[in-house]
Amino acid sequence: MINVSYTNARGETVILDDDDRSFLAELYGREGCDAPKLEYQEITYADGTTETVLIRMKPRDVKLKFNVRLRNVVHIADFEALKLKLIQTGNREGDWGRLMIRRKDGTEAYLNCAYVGGLDEIIREYPTSTKFSLTFHAQDPLFHDKDDTEYIIRPDDESGYLRFKPLTFSGDTYDFAEDNSTSNPDGLFFKPLTFTGGTYDFSEDNSTDNPTGVFMKSAANESLDNVNILTQAVFPVITITGAAKNIRLINHTTGRKLEFAASVVVDGENYILIDTRPLRRKALQVNVSTGVATNIVGKLTADSSLDFILERGVNEILFRNSEATPESLCTLTYMQGYLSAQ
């Protein structure tokens, strides 16, 4: 079992400690793996009084200590390869790398970080044994799960408004009724609606009176969901697929809102991607076939904000879509963050 590893920006993984007792092993004395440090900002007024107006987490540096056994040529070659994978310089877009530390309960915690330390605190106690430390720097001080968490908002068939499906012309009328001559001499008659199996059905016998299934489907106008964040606050990546129009997403817990102009339509040929993560914020309409993305930030309403945070605890999310179908989905994807890797 791997206990500590680092995956660099090229996707190359360096195993730093495992249960197979390879030539490299972690020693006791971790630094920076517990709750991150906080910094505060204060304002001093004219009368000399001071007020703390902001407290936030600082970036994190993690130092891990290791022992390497260089007993043969293979070990020496592996150690040199390890250095090459660790040390990276230059400009990067996105994450530099990920440090994985296995916690005491057996789960994995990941830190988005860059290796910045060189080989520090080198101690050569024996000809074939060397101790040293590695330092990693993380702008985001939280440890995260290995995989993203997804919360999917689906249309609610029981709510919203009704929408016609295509009708079949039979004879000289669109026939909904059993008795047109008395109830509906002009050939159109709405019978009382009954909700069965996800549809509002007009016909008593679909096999004869309505072979193509003349019915109206419930298209959810608004869905209300409770999204429970168990760790620190998160900024989700939001994907809207299927069919959608008059799109509105509101977090009633925080008051944050995302709403697009009516001209923004999702029709199955495209989807909407909204990234609310700091430094990556964007709103795109993406063509499914070509992958071409169009910036639609300018089509957000004036009271909308890409600073759409989900706070720790229950977030009451309202999603409005006036063209919902069973294929319409609003997916919130986020990484849950933890204060420590212990």
Q: Domains of the chain: which residue ranges?
A: 2-144, 149-159+220-338, 161-219
Distances (CA, A) of 25 to 210, 276, 317: 73, 39, 46
Which H helix or E strand runs over 74?
A: helix 73-86
Q: What is the pLDDT of residues 252-310, one digit of tens each?
A: 999 999 999 999 999 989 999 999 998 899 999 999 999 999 999 999 999 999 999 99
Six-digit token pair at 288?
Answer: 């499914």
- How does strand 194-196 pair with strand 199-201? antiparallel
Q: Which fold has domain 2-144?
A: Elongation Factor Tu (Ef-tu); domain 3 (2.40.30)
The CA distance from 5 to 142, in Å, is: 17
Which of 332, 105, 142 lies closest to 232, judged by CA? 142
Paired strand residues for 337: 144
Q: Just give the CATH number of 149-159+220-338.
A: 2.60.120.860
The CA distance from 284 to 274, in Å, is: 6
b/e code 73-104 from CB counts within 10 Å (16+ = b)? eebeebbeebeebbebeeeeeeebbbbbbbee
pTM equals: 0.68
Average pLDDT over residues 149-163: 67
Average pLDDT over residues 80-101: 86
Rg of the chain (C-alpha set): 29
Six-digit token pair at 188?
Answer: 């159109």
